[in-house]
Copies of this chain bind each other. A is one copy, B any other.
Amino acid sequence: MKIAILGGTGKEGAGLGYRWAVAGHHIIIGSRVAERAEAKAAELTALLPGFGEPLQGMGNVAAAQAADLVILSVPYEAQKATLEEVKPALVGKLLISVVVPLKPPKLSQVWLPEAGSAAAEAQQLLGEQTRVAAAFQNVSAEHLLDLNHAIACDVLICGDKAADREIAAQLAQDAGMRGIHAGPLVNAGIVEGLTAVLISINIRHKIKHAGIRITGITD
């Protein structure tokens, strides 16, 4: 699958893109500045000798145009401007939002936008022509570049269509994690807010990457 990662120069987007490239996807790192995207793609490609050219870099709009599936991995503050710019390129596509709305300086206190979640806000902005799902918010970027490091975190996936959630679940698996259907997009605020809770736990326990696991699933 040809996957664009808008804001893919950031730690989370780059780490996911790296793992997906290893899994055989064609990754397009997107950035506001095309040169920065190209540099990050080259940097990640250098970590994967023998893989050919699994990662490219482009400006966000070109990246969104070129891809079948688009990941939104920008800071929340940049979400609106980014989406307004790429909106036409997203028509008919699935956008998976990785965005976590956090309000500095108290990152350990839950803060959610008026729409209920960053993902719901994205859906409002993009309209019905683009499907939005939410996933990967709780995954620490810390160890994504270390393929030998098992990520001790399930991926909660929210979206109104089961088929879209299933795509995200496959991407979770491709990145070495378990994807779990967490209900419709209206539930995304809980998954996004959980990141602030995990930051709170990190601070309290002086650890760096608290995660979550769902228990009780037998299959």
Contact = CB atoms under 8 A, between A and B. Distances in A.
A190 B197 contact: yes
Contacts of A109: 183-184, 186-187
> How many copies of this kind of chain does the complex include?
2
A9 interface: no
Contacts of A218: 205, 207
Given A110-B187, A212-B213, A180 B201 contact: yes
Given A152-B216, A209-B216, A216-B211, A187 B196 contact: yes
A217 B190 contact: no
Interface string A86-122: 0000000000000000000000111000000000000
Contacts of A202: 216
A214 B204 contact: no
Nearest to A207: B216
Interface residues of A, number: 39
Contacts of A200: 181-183, 187
Nearest to A198: B214
A132 interface: no
B215 A152 contact: yes
A143 B153 CA distance: 25
A194 interface: yes
Given A109-B184, A110-B190, A184-B109, A217 B205 contact: yes
A211 to B, nearest CB: 4
Interface of A: 108-110, 152-153, 156, 180-184, 186-187, 189-191, 193-194, 196-198, 200-202, 204-205, 207-219
9 contacts: A109-B186, A110-B183, A156-B197, A181-B201, A183-B197, A190-B193, A190-B196, A205-B219, A212-B215
